[in-house]
Chains A and B, each alone.
Chain A
Amino acid sequence: MSSVPDRATGGHELPDVTEMPLAQLAMNEDTVLGNALRRYHLEALRPPENLSAFGSFAE
């Protein structure tokens, strides 16, 4: 069997946040939203494939 992931994603897609000055500023802040925007930006380049189990931390 191959391991091609079946990504069923959704949500409200954002434009490229690196092209948006205020968003770029927010990305540099150590806030919840700044962190979320950085993660979003990084994962847009390389999305994750797997889930963590409910009852453990394993990342």
Chain B
Amino acid sequence: MSHGQEWPHGNVDLATLTGAGWRPTALREFILKVHQRCNLACDYCYVYTLADQTWSRRPQSMSRTVWQATAARIAEHVTAHALTDITVVLHGGEPTLAGEEQLSELLTDIRTAVPRSCAVHFGMQTNGVRLREPMLAVMRAFGVRIGVSLDGPPEGNDRHRRYADGRGSSADVERTLRRLSGPADRSLFAGLLCTVDPDTDPVACYEGLIAYRPEKIDFLLPHANWSVPPHHPGPLAYGSWLARIFDRWYEAPVRETSIRIFDEIINLYLGGTSRSEQVGLSPSAVIVVESDGAIEQTDALKSAYESAAATGLTVQANTFDDALAHPGVIARQIGVRALCATCRDCRIRDICGAGHYAHRYRPGTGFLNPTVYCADMIHLIDHITARVAADLRRLEVV
């Protein structure tokens, strides 16, 4: 079976859905691949080391023609849906490689194109090894909030996050984080992203991260699926690792930071909605624009198979509303209708939401499967909800 026949392709029909009253959710988060290369060679990177290799065929850097076309399409989408706030994220590769002059022009062009009635929140996700004053000045000028990737203390981080010559990246990232956690640039520091590695001590990992006083941390499960399963063979290795961090975080007498995956699970348990694509059934309002102008789905799908994130659309030729009609984008917005029978019947369905979409892939059935981390997610969610439920009983809420 070709990938084009796997779910959701050929199985999700916009006309049927809209006929039944469903409507797409407007896109609000635009991720721009401003640079395709990276100055690190992390061994788990979904851009370079997994199934998709399309990065090598795209322009190294996004050109002004492409970002101006992107800005015009974003403005068009904002106007069509009367949006009052959107987010634009500078991403890569490593976005700082685009250089401060290019990024300053890009940010100016986007802010100029989007109607003033719409707030534009800028963000950048960086490996943090090359974030120096000229770039920080641009970030300050546009209020760009910076997320940094760091996998805990040096021994854990440098096991995976290395330069091409094998050197670890910790020392260089630490220099950046000392600056971002200091008074002058603290307002720019959005948080830390940490990829889970069960070989690192979880509590030491968490404590290594909060040493930089991040407002937020998120722990990301390494990209894997039913065809390429998670690396660590231990039973519940990932779920129990996260549960140990949860206990350390939850038991602090004063809350030390936000941990996105835990906060979202608690909020879902309370009856709220999720803001993270790792859990829950909220519609995804995220779209990616590659350096050549290609409109793509969440880039994590690149871990599944070559061109899994592709839509066949471009900012030069298509609107973002065209992307809202793509089966892959629709599948991320239809909640429980995008779940397989096993997940639909699961007792923690509405909290787990089948986990991350990319982790559901299995050749043949496509993305209509539970997450490959199913057992770990059940373990983690049961652990968190049991602790929260006990406290809610104490507070006489339930």
Contacts and interface: CB of A to CB of B under 8 A. Distances in A.
A51 B271 contact: no
A32 B250 contact: yes
Contact of B277 (A4, A12, A51, A59): A51
Contacts of B91: 55-56
A8 B335 contact: yes
B272 A54 contact: no
Interface string B55-86: 00000000000000000000000001111000
A41 to B, nearest CB: 9
B286 interface: yes
B395 A1 contact: no
Interface in A44-59: 44, 47-59
Interface stretch (B96-104, B156-164, B349-357): B349-357
Interface string A1-27: 111111111111111010010110010
A54 B278 CA distance: 7
A11 B272 contact: yes
A39 B267 CA distance: 8
Main secondary structure of the interface of A (DSSP, over half): loop
A6 to B, nearest CB: 6
B222 to A, nearest CB: 11
Contact of B395 (A13, A23, A58): A23
A51 B284 contact: yes
Contacts, number: 202
Interface residues of B, number: 78
Contacts of A7: 273, 282-283, 335
B298 A59 contact: no
B179 interface: no
Interface string B244-287: 00000110111100101011001111111111111011111110
A10 B255 contact: no
B250 A9 contact: no
A40 B283 contact: no
A4 B147 CA distance: 30
B35 interface: no
A48 B271 contact: no
Contact of B193 (A1, A30, A57): A57
Contacts of A12: 269-271, 398
Contacts of A28: none
A39 B263 contact: yes
B281 A9 contact: yes
B38 interface: no
Contacts of A47: 272-273
A9 B334 contact: no
A7 B271 CA distance: 12
Nearest to B268: A11
A7 to B, nearest CB: 6
B254 A57 contact: no
B376 interface: no
A20 B315 CA distance: 51
Contact of A1 (B23, B272, B336): B23
Given A2-B81, A30-B254, 4 more contacts: A1-B324, A8-B350, A32-B249, A51-B277
Closest 7 CB pairs of A and B: A10-B350, A8-B335, A3-B26, A50-B285, A57-B147, A13-B271, A8-B281
